[in-house]
Amino acid sequence: MVSFMYTIKAPVGLHARHAGLLVRETKKYRSAVTVSCGGRAVDGKRILNLMGLGVRQGDLLKITVEGEDEDLALQELKAFFFANF
């Protein structure tokens, strides 16, 4: 299991379009992806779960990846977050 922290910089937080992009990205990997914010953790491969977190600008997320391709997924998800949020 590997993880990283990321503070949301996007003024709109994690809205529907961004959540959809994130789900598309996480589904590329066989590993489980968990997104945590404010004491809640959800499946990063489910858009409604991500939207339910209510992530806003300035919120700190913890992204955890666990599975057979976790190292690759972690590196690519980090790059995705820095490019999109």
> Among all residues, which ones are annotated catalytic?
15
Rounded CA-CA distance 55/67 in Å is 25
For residue 49, CA distances in Å to 16, 40, 71, 82 come to 11, 10, 24, 21
User: What is the sign of the dihedral through the CA atoms of 84, 7, 45 and 75?
Assistant: positive
